[in-house]
């Protein structure tokens, strides 16, 4: 098992995590565990054995630590990534449903205003769509985040 130190990558930095590396995975784990939607290069990671990790630790710039081994990497690839994709699809479906219902209610209100006998009807005011969709919001990211935090033993130093 290897511990990775994660720190913020300065905006103009020439350093990046190698694509597909465990360092990149460590940064992605932190983004999921912390529920941050930063760019892929917002964080940079170093294995504890790396001399740069020691320097970062001494500079007090370490924001998180993450534990990664073969089993955890496999869990990420086979379980967590697919769940994250499905969670995104669920959020998109909820947003799309909200939009479809809101548009239909708005069209109904417009039709009522154009009519002679139903101008006083305004269904969109009565529906309170925001409140309804707040109650069916997608909490899967929070649940996934908490499990990722446990599985990868994420420690925050902020």
Q: What digits encode the pLDDT tens for the residues 85-127?
A: 999 999 899 889 989 988 998 999 999 999 999 988 888 777 7
Q: Which two tokens stand for residue 8?
A: 């913020």
Residue ranges per structural domain of the chain = 2-75+148-156, 80-145
pLDDT for residue 16: 86
Long-range contacts of 131-140 (CB under 8 A, 24+ apart): 133/94, 133/97, 133/98, 136/94, 137/94, 138/87, 138/90, 138/91, 138/94, 140/83, 140/86, 140/87, 140/90
Closest CA to 76 of 31, 44, 131: 31
CB 84 within 8 A of CB 148: no
Mean local confidence (pLDDT), 63-85 = 96
CB 35 within 8 A of CB 141: yes
Q: What digits encode the pLDDT tens for the residues 127-152?
A: 777 677 776 767 888 899 999 999 99
The answer to whether residue 58 scores a pLDDT higher than 60 is: no
pTM: 0.79
List strands edge to edge, sheet with 43-47. Answer: 43-47, 2-8, 62-68, 155-156
- Angstrom distance (rounded) from CA 53 to CA 5: 6
């Amino acid at each position: 098992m290897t511990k990775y130190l994660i720190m913020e990558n300065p905006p103009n930095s020439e350093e990046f995590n190698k694509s597909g590396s465990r360092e990149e995975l460590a940064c992605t784990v932190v983004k999921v565990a912390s529920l941050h939607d930063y760019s892929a290069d917002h964080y940079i990671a170093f294995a504890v054995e790396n001399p740069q990790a020691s320097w970062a630790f001494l500079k007090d710039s370490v924001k998180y630590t993450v534990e990664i081994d073969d089993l955890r990497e496999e869990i990420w690839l086979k379980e967590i990534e697919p769940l994250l994709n499905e969670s995104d699809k669920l959020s998109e479906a909820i947003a799309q449903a909200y939009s479809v219902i809101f548009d239909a209610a708005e069209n109904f209100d417009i039709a009522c205003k154009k009519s002679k006998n139903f101008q006083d009807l305004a269904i969109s005011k009565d529906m309170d769509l925001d409140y309804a969709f707040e109650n069916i919001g997608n909490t899967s990211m929070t649940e996934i985040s908490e499990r990722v935090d446990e599985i990868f033993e994420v420690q925050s130093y902020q």
